[in-house]
Amino acid sequence: MISFKNSVPALPVVSIKKAVDFYQTKMGFNARNQEETFAILVRGNVEIHLWQACDKSWKFRSLVLFLKPIWSGAETFIAGTASCRVEVEGIDELYSEYKAQGVLHGEHSVVEEQYWGHRDLATLDLYGNLITFYEVVS
């Protein structure tokens, strides 16, 4: 019998160092592991992996870019294109924390009640990856 147990989002960023600093100071995560091109951040039971999208060579391949646009899969333009959802308890408290830190998605961001039974809150990391925190409505 197969049993799925967990999922860990892996988000692309340009600079691991800057991203880890942002996640620690603005989003309340702690770095469990940090290397030059990879990091693992944790808060409570949630784990988020960051990987470095640092290939800038695409900027200098204008003709070749037309024929083969992506070579490495780690081009800098990939940073900020990912998203994930994280279940939490205490969404209203998290909203207050993230509003004070300025990491909400849009200036008019609020905790929204969804028809499928979640209350959610959209945030952006330093590079624009969308992280939606949600709480299940009982």
Q: Domain extents for the chain?
A: 10-136
Pick the closest to residue 78 from 59, 97, 55, 62 (CA basis).
55
Q: What are the start-end ranges of the H helices in the chain? A: 16-26, 62-67, 91-101
pLDDT for residue 80: 81
DSSP label at residue 75: B
User: 107 phi and psi, to 5 degrees?
Assistant: -70, -20
Query: Which CATH code, of 1.20.58.340, 3.10.180.10, 3.30.1490.110, 3.20.20.140, is assigned to 10-136?
Result: 3.10.180.10
For 56-98, the pLDDT digits (tens) are 665 565 555 556 655 655 666 677 888 999 999 999 999 999 9
Q: Write down the mean pLDDT value for the chain.
A: 87
Mean pLDDT (whole number) for 84-113: 91
Instruction: Of 4-8, 31-35, 98-102, give the lowest mean pLDDT range.
Output: 4-8
